[in-house]
Amino acid sequence: MRVRVLGIGMGPRQLTGEVAEALRGCDYAVAPRKGAEDGLLELRREVCAAFGVPLVEVADPRRDREAADYGAAVAAWHEARVRAYERVLGARGGTAAFLVWGDPALYDSTLRIVEAVAERGAVPVEYDVLPGISAPQLLAARHRIVLHGVGGPVHVTPARRLAEAVAAGHRDIVVMLGGRHGFGHLADWSVWWGANLGTDSEELVAGRVGEVLPAIEEARLRARGKAGWVMDTALLRRPQ
């Protein structure tokens, strides 16, 4: 069978022409359900409905988010996901789509899961990957900025490792997967922040961290209240 890993940005308005054409050729899409109220699953359902592709839900295995060993907890979660998707793909065959938020290359486990299914060999799988519009791209476009200085680097990190990036001396830092990890201690830094980028619940804030942090917290609450979930991304720039 064939699996197509498709980057879908943040929903129907973000699909590239290449991804749209690929999705039309799929027999079905596979997506995790992460609870009774799963707004991201509903967005995937909207994408599938727009292209006449059935959506197959897979109950997402529980992930231990309080584990002391982050790496081990994620590895166990991925293994459980591999087994769950393997069962669905083995039963259905055909050509399946995995719809990835943003771009499959950036902070998403789908490629690792599909690769593990293929390597295990219980289900003969060939797969390819098509890119999508990532959150950092949308953030830069919404704020009309370049993510780095002239000829300079930009460092991309999950929020839980922000302190490492700051200590290492990085000047331009894109922070993803915010969750409970904040940046309020960087009061003198500049920030360009966005939540639920590319959706109807999108929120944007920019300014000096120490001045706009309350506005960011309020905007985050609005985004969650409207969508039922929140994904935020920010560019932090060290003061000169």
pLDDT band at 35 (very low <50, low <70, confident <90, very high): low
Q: What pLDDT does 135 receive? A: 94
For residue 33, the tally of other CB atoms under 10 A from its CB is 13
Question: What are the Cα distances from residue 14, in Å, to 33, 47, 108, 146?
Answer: 22, 10, 17, 20
**Nearest-angstrom CA–CA distance, 41 and 221:** 20
Mean pLDDT of the chain: 90
pLDDT band at 217 (very low <50, low <70, confident <90, very high): very high
Say if residues 183 and 216 touch (Cβ distance below 8 Å): no
How many alpha carbons lie under 13 Å from residue 156 in its C-beta half-sphere?
Answer: 12
Q: What pLDDT does 65 receive? A: 66
List the single range of 115-124, 127-136, 162-171 with lowest mean pLDDT: 115-124
pLDDT band at 150 (very low <50, low <70, confident <90, very high): very high
- pLDDT beyond 80 at 90: yes
Say if residues 51 and 78 touch (Cβ distance below 8 Å): no
Residue type, 15: L
Q: What is the pTM of this model?
A: 0.86
Q: What pLDDT does 33 receive? A: 82
Residue type, 223: A
- pLDDT beyond 80 at 106: yes
Say if residues 23 and 6 touch (Cβ distance below 8 Å): yes
The fold of 135-237 is 3.30.950
> What is the distance, to the nearest Å, from the Cα of residue 127 to the centroid of all Cα atoms in its chain?
20
Q: Domain 2-130 classified CATH 3.40.50.2300?
A: no
Crossing angle of helices 39-51 and 17-24, in 10° steps, is 80
H-assigned helices in the chain: 17-24, 39-51, 70-92, 110-120, 135-143, 162-167, 209-227
**Higher-confidence position of 70 and 138:** 138
CA-based nearest residue to 4, from 53, 75, 39, 43? 53
Q: What pLDDT does 189 receive? A: 97
| Residues forming CATH 3.40.1010.10 domain(s) in the chain | 2-130
- pLDDT beyond 90 at 180: no
Which whole number is the average pLDDT over 119-126? 89
Q: What pLDDT does 69 receive? A: 74
List the single range of 73-87, 159-173, 207-221 with lowest mean pLDDT: 73-87
| Residues forming CATH 3.30.950.10 domain(s) in the chain | 135-237
